[in-house]
Amino acid sequence: MLAIGSQNVRLCDGFSRRDFLRIGALGTAGLALPQLLQAREQRPSILGGTFGQAKSCIVLFLIGGASQQDTFDLKPEAPAEVRGEFKPIATSVPGLQICEHLPLLARQADKCTLIRSVTHGINVHTQSALIMLTGEPTGALRAENDTREFPNDPPSFGSVLSCVRGSRSVLPPYVYCKMGYYVPPGRGAGWLGQKYAPFNIDTDPNAANFEIKALTPPREVPLDRLAGRQGLLDSINRQADALRQSGSANLMDVHYQKALDLITAPQARKAFDLSAEPAAVRDRYGRHTFGQAVLLARRLVEHGVSLVTVNWNNFANKGGRGHWDTHGDNFKELKELLLPPTDRAVAALLEDLATRGLLDETLVVCMGEFGRTPKINSGAGRDHWGACMSVLLAGGGIRAGRVYGSSDRQAAYPKDNPVQARDLVATIYHCLGIAPQTELHDQHGRPLRVCHGEPVMGLLGN
C-alpha cells in the first residue's frame, strides 16, 4: 500500500507524487529505483492505457436523485405503476434507448458509457451524497438535511486531487459550483484539512452581472499597485471575507502570493469570463443556470482546473419546484423543469469537448446521490431509492458507446454487473491517475486510504 504525505513536493530523483501514485497501482512492495524507472516507461501498457488518462474531471451532480426509470433505464414493458408516462427513443448507439425528453443527449450517446447498475442501498440524501462523492461511508452520522461538513469526513474527489497534484495553473485546482440552498456533504476536504477545500462559486453564472467577488480587486486599488509592495497586504486583507466565503481562506493564510496571483492574474479573470464565449455557444448550453455553469466548468478545465463539480441549481425560486427530489409530480417536474436543461447542457458539453479535442483527457461524470423507487407513489412521484441507479460517464479513459450493467424488470435492483458506489469512485480515481490503495495523511499524520473500492475494468477502454 502506498502512503503519500500531504506536502506538495517533487522528490530529488525527479519523481512527482503523481508518479508514485501511478506506480502504486502496480504494487509498491520491494520496488527498487531501476524497477520504478522501468515501470514509469511501461506504465501505459501495464495499466491498460487508461490510468491517469484524464487530466481533468467535470462532475455534474443532480442533487435530489434522478429517477432511473424516467431518464436512462426506461421499462416500457413494466406495469403502468412502474413504467411511468415517458417513452423511450433511439440513440446514436444501436439498441440503446433513453427517455424521449433527452433527444439532444441521445445524439451524443456514442460518446458515453451508461451504467444501469450502480448501487449502495442508502436512502438518506446526506449519507448517499457523501458515498457517491467520496466512495467512503460518512465519518459522522447525519440527519436527512444535515449538510454540515465534519473534520473526519472522507475527502472529495477534488480535495484529493488538490493534495496529490497541487495546482496546474494560477487557478485553484478544485472548483465547486454550489448554486443552491441545498449543498450536499462530500464536497469538502474532510480529514485532509481546509488547505484542500474547494474554491466555491455560489452566484448564478446565468445572471447578467455574474462575477467572482474573490477575484475582483478593490476598485480604488489599480492592478499595477497590487503587483507592487505598496498596498499589497491591505488589498489582500480586503479580499479576506470573500476568500473565506469561497472556501479559499486557508489559501490566503498559507500562501499570500497565491491569493495575490488569483486576484491579479489575467488568466484567472479570463477563465471565469463567460462573456468571452460566442452567443451561439452560450445558447447551445442553454441560457439557464445549469447550462451556463456547465459551460463555465468547460472553460475552467481548459484553463488548468483539475476538477469542477457543478451542483444542480436547486434555487428556491419556483415555488419549491425544480429539484430532482421528485416525491410529487415527478413527470411534470421532469418534463418541464429538469430534463430539458439537463439534456441541452450535458449534450453541449460532450459535443464541445469532443470538437475541441478535449474529451479524451476530460472525464465527465453525471450522477445523483441515488435513484427513485420503482413504484409511483400516490402523489405521482417517486421516493428515495439507493438500491439501483443510473450514472453517465464519458471521456478520460472511459469506453464509449455502450451500456454497462443492467437492472431487473422494474429498475429496482441490479441484475447484471452491479457497480458499488465505492467501485465507481475507484474507477474515477483510476482515470485521474490515483490508485485507490493510495494512502494520504490526515491532519494528525495518520495514513488513511483514499478509497476502498476497485476500478471497474469493464468501464475502461479507448
For residue 461, is pLDDT > 80?
Answer: yes
Q: What pLDDT, on the 0 to 100 scale, is given for residue 29?
A: 32
Are 358 and 308 in contact by the 8 Å Cβ rule? The answer is no
Domains of the chain: 1-49 (no CATH), 53-207+276-433 (3.40.720.10), 212-271 (no CATH)
Among the listed ranges 115-129, 294-308, 311-325, 340-354, which one has the minimum average pLDDT value?
311-325
Grid cell for residue 55: 487530466
196/189 Cα distance (integer angstroms) = 6
Q: Give the max Cα distance, the chain.
A: 73
Are 395 and 115 in contact by the 8 Å Cβ rule? The answer is no
1/13 Cα distance (integer angstroms) = 21
Q: What pLDDT, on the 0 to 100 scale, is given for residue 217?
A: 58
> Can you spell out the DSSP letters for 175-221?
EEE--SS---SSSS-GGG-GGG--EEE-S-TTSTT---GGG---TTS
| pLDDT tens figures, 397-411 | 999 999 999 999 999
Quick one: DSSP state of residue 56?
E
327/379 Cα distance (integer angstroms) = 7
Q: What pLDDT, on the 0 to 100 scale, is given for residue 144?
A: 79
Among the listed ranges 17-31, 87-101, 191-205, 362-376, which one has the minimum average pLDDT value?
17-31
Rounded alpha-carbon distances, angstroms, from residue 195 to 172, 357, 438, 442 = 11, 32, 19, 11
Task: Look at residue 231 and give its three-state secondary structure.
Answer: coil
- 142 — pLDDT class (breaks 50, 70, 90): confident
Q: What pLDDT, on the 0 to 100 scale, is given for residue 263?
A: 63
As a whole number, mean pLDDT of residues 97-110 equals 98
446/441 Cα distance (integer angstroms) = 5
- 179 — pLDDT class (breaks 50, 70, 90): confident
- 216 — pLDDT class (breaks 50, 70, 90): low
Grid cell for residue 129: 451524497
As a whole number, mean pLDDT of residues 10-34 equals 38
Q: What pLDDT, on the 0 to 100 scale, is given for residue 138?
A: 67
> What is the chain's Cα-based Rg?
22
| One-letter amino acid for residue 358 of the chain | L
361/54 Cα distance (integer angstroms) = 4
For residue 117, is pLDDT > 50?
Answer: yes
39/41 Cα distance (integer angstroms) = 5
| pLDDT tens figures, 248-299 | 544 445 445 555 566 666 777 889 999 999 999 999 999 999 999 999 999 9
Phi then psi dihedrals of residue 62, to 5 deg:
-85, 80
271/439 Cα distance (integer angstroms) = 33
| pLDDT, the chain, mean | 83
For residue 59, is pLDDT > 70?
Answer: yes
Strands 307-311 and 439-441: unpaired
Grid cell for residue 393: 460517464
Grid cell for residue 75: 421499462
Are 51 and 398 in contact by the 8 Å Cβ rule? The answer is no
Which position has the higher pLDDT, 365 or 148?
365
Q: What pLDDT, on the 0 to 100 scale, is given for residue 182?
A: 81
Among the listed ranges 67-71, 77-81, 207-211, 256-260, which one has the minimum average pLDDT value?
256-260
24/11 Cα distance (integer angstroms) = 16
